[in-house]
Structure 1
Amino acid sequence: MHNVPDRSTIVAALQLAARAPSVHNTQPWHWDFDGTRLHLSSDAERQLTVADPSGRQEVISCGAMLQHARIAFAAQRHPITVHYAPEESRHDLLAVAEFDTPRPPSDRERALAAAIRERRSDRLPMSPPDRPELIDQLREVAADPRVQLDTIADDVRPRLAAASRHTAAMHQYDTPYQTELRWWTGNFDLAEGIPPAALATAREAALVDVGRDFPVPPGTPHRAEAPDHAALVVLSTAANSEPDWLATGEALSTTLLSATAAGLATCPLTHITEIPAALRTIATLLPEPSRIPQAVIRLGSAPHDYVAPPTPRRGTDDFLTFTDR
């Protein structure tokens, strides 16, 4: 028990970790502290039943939260060791975290914790990364035997853009899909979902060739009107099971925070992998076409004259329970 932090430390770390990205900012996770360990579960009530019937994007979101929690607790001097839930466990239980011996955080852990506060999903057009070598560095820092990071070459980018457009076209007249999308976007006063300030205007959205189609807010563009030149990278796995999705989320977290710490703007995308035909198209663009694409990330440089405000987050009272009472 001497390794276990006090309750206020747990609350503070998980409130920071809750800045993790999630599909439509649904924040589909729940933590339970039993007095010794933390249990991470997916929250089925927050699953996108139309866009994500398998729960894949939900679990990826939980994986991002899990890796954010590793960093947040390490920054609080209380690193954790994660044990993944076995197949026969409760169906929504994903992982159990135990506290290690307290120690000071490393410089990298401090930098990534600071990046948690700075990271945004930037849906606006970007310039290319100002230092191209950063992409190779991200491939190294995101190294995970379960997840591979590959760059989409410029000469095949139009094929990925076409897959993105076709995905949007297939959903355009899907009323249940559009209803679900609008439920989670455009609200001003909720602690979840995507507010209008985080969305691109119609003119800006038209300049981004690979991006999810969201409801378009009114207003004038935030940036100079130039086509998007963000680099595109793909996270892929060898299989397509729940552990692979969770690992994807962890790698997504590491990639986004490392990029943010290096000064890059980022935007994760999973919508292109909702349609099997688009999924196959992305796979053909990878060095190993047998791999299964799980997420696409836009990485680029963004001017500092406009920074999107942080999207809202639920308080820990909504996603953390203490059963040690």
Structure 2
Amino acid sequence: MPGTAMERQLLEQSLQLACRAPSFHNSQPWQWILTPDGLDLHLDPRQLVASDASGRQAVLSCGAILDHFRVACAAAGWTAGVTRYPNPNDHKHLASITFSPMSFVTEGHRLRAEAIRGRRTNRLPYGPPQDWDSFEPTLRRTVGDSVLVDVLGPQAHPDLQKAAALSEDARQYDSAYHADLFWWTSAHDAAVGIPHSSLNSAAEDERVGIGRRFPVTHHQPSGAGLHTDESTVVVLSTFDDSRTAILRCGEALSAALLSATMSGLATCTLTHLTEVPASLAVVQRVTGRELPQVLIRMGRIPSNAEIPPPTPRRPLAEILMARTSPRR
């Protein structure tokens, strides 16, 4: 790399940590290419989910790992400079990254990287988040101004439950969609997908109400003790529907999840409420936004609730390749 180079081992360690980023159905649709100029992030078409016909969810997912990677680099003492969509003729080339050393790594940098390790998608019902009034300004600051942020309390749950029901109804006879869900929640590949240990029982699904309905699991409900979901829901909307806006929304999603984790809040990302026109219309009406992209449940779980195990990840050898020629 011309200029300042990040040592290969440190870069791989940062990528390994960044790969804990959430993705649609844990599909991990990213490909990293190391070049003499830096590091490139590409969309991996082999990992696209069939029901994500537009690729929106995949780009959101890649935005999340891009932000995770910046966080991991900062904890290692490096600033990752990002150029989004550097090649207008290549929509799969999402970002190019160059590196420069940081003058000092703060405790905040380290704690944010630790939040990557501690974050889980928790689909159980939540209690109301504590100290929300003090947390919300932090959330808005870390998410930044590239997206619009709306906060919905439990009073909005009936509308969101209606949106979830409309989403289910729209896909009741959609064989391709249900085949998709079955494939990504089956033990077809140890490195991708959602294991049954990370899914709710049927009883737990009923208590949440606004979550995506995955294939029913047969494990016993957890002893969490919450019978209703009183989560606060954060909605991230974009200013336009460009690819860059969706990528930045994924980055904002990552920032929101890590901030919540650092504040001791459980989180669950919801995208099914914006995937079909009928449910999207409900979210648009509730938020007053034209382009809501993703919703996040945030709240408190009881101290006796089980922490979901980490979901699997593809090995680094599958997602990182080196190219000897510089960028064009």
Q: TM-score range by the shorter chain?
A: over 0.9
Equivalent-residue separation in structure 2 for 1:176 and 1:98 (angstroms)? 40
Equivalent-residue separation in structure 2 for 1:143 and 1:102 (angstroms)? 22
Give 1:138 deviation, angstroms.
4.2
Gaps of 5+ in 2: none
Give 1:240 deviation, angstroms.
1.1
Give 1:86 deviation, angstroms.
4.1
Per the alignment, residue 232 of structure 1 pairs with 233
Structure 2 residue 211 is matched with structure 1 residue 211? yes
CA contact (8 A) 1:4 1:99 kept: yes
Count of paired positions: 322
Q: CA, structure 1 residues 69+179, in 2 after alignment: closer, same or farther (shift >3 Å)? A: same
CA contact (8 A) 1:141 1:255 kept: no
Per the alignment, residue 221 of structure 1 pairs with 221
RMSD: 1.7
Equivalent-residue separation in structure 1 for 2:239 and 2:91 (angstroms)? 22
Equivalent-residue separation in structure 2 for 1:82 and 1:160 (angstroms)? 35
Give 1:153 deviation, angstroms.
3.8
Equivalent-residue separation in structure 1 for 2:135 and 2:251 (angstroms)? 18
CA contact (8 A) 2:34 2:322 kept: yes
Q: CA, structure 1 residues 173+237, in 2 after alignment: closer, same or farther (shift >3 Å)? A: same
CA contact (8 A) 2:21 2:254 kept: yes
Give 1:273 deviation, angstroms.
0.7
Equivalent-residue separation in structure 2 for 1:299 and 1:158 (angstroms)? 17
Give 1:68 deviation, angstroms.
0.2
Structure 1, residues 32-51: CA drift from partner, whole Å, max 9, x if none? Answer: 0103311001111211222x
The aligned runs of 1:91-130 (5 Å cut-off) are 91-130=91-130
Equivalent-residue separation in structure 2 for 1:158 and 1:73 (angstroms)? 41
Equivalent-residue separation in structure 2 for 1:53 and 1:31 (angstroms)? 22
CA contact (8 A) 1:39 1:96 kept: yes
Give 1:189 deviation, angstroms.
5.6
Per the alignment, residue 32 of structure 2 pairs with 31
Q: Please identify, of 158-167 and 128-137, the stretch whose mean Cα deviation from structure 2 is larger.
A: 128-137
Q: CA, structure 1 residues 228+156, in 2 after alignment: closer, same or farther (shift >3 Å)? A: closer
CA contact (8 A) 2:78 2:100 kept: yes
Equivalent-residue separation in structure 2 for 1:21 and 1:257 (angstroms)? 11
Paired residue type of 2:65: M
Gaps of 5+ in 1: none
Paired residue type of 1:292: L
Per the alignment, residue 136 of structure 1 pairs with 136
| Structure 1 consecutive aligned stretches of length 4 or more whose deviation exceeds 6 Å | none
CA contact (8 A) 1:78 1:99 kept: yes
TM-score w.r.t. the length of structure 2 is 0.94
CA contact (8 A) 1:126 1:302 kept: yes
